[in-house]
Amino acid sequence: GENVEQHPSTLSVQEGDSAVIKCTYSDSASNYFPWYKQELGKRPQLIIDIRSNVGEKKDQRIAVTLNKTAKHFSLHITETQPEDSAVYFCAASIRDYQLIWGAGTKLIIKP
């Protein structure tokens, strides 16, 4: 069946350094790839998304890249700050309306 693999499961970086989280998907028909951030005890919230007709998208300190041939996409966070600490989920669309989610990456920003 369709699945999304996400790595690493935990990522610890020094404040100010960059963080990269990677996901691979299995359904070649997937065309929408969102990233959600979930702080402890809070609901998931969209931080950035990319569609299959674009290879890269940037919004201030965060960026997402997509390689459709290889079926993988990545989240890049530069100049990390303490408030970036959270669990990050990638997802890929299937059947137009449904998202398949990765297992999440716990990002820890060390002061």
Partner 1 sequence: GAGVSQSPRYKVTKRGQDVALRCDPISGHVSLYWYRQALGQGPEFLTYFNYEAQQDKSGLPNDRFSAERPEGSISTLTIQRTEQRDSAMYRCASSQPTGLAGVSYEQYFGPGTRLTVT
Binding site for partner 1 (CB under 8 A): 6, 29, 31-32, 34, 43-46, 49, 51, 87, 89, 91, 93, 95-104, 106
Nearest-approach distance from CB 23 to partner 1, in angstroms = 11
What's the rounded Cα separation, in Å, for the pair 25 and 9? 16
**Tokens 């020094």 map to which residue?**
14
For partner 1, the closer CB: 9 or 14 = 9
Do the beta carbons of residue 5 and residue 105 sit within 8 Å? no
Nearer to partner 1, 97 or 111 (CB): 97
Q: Report yes or no: 18 and 76 within 8 Å, Cβ to Cβ.
A: yes
- Cβ distance to partner 1 smaller for residue 14 or 54: 54
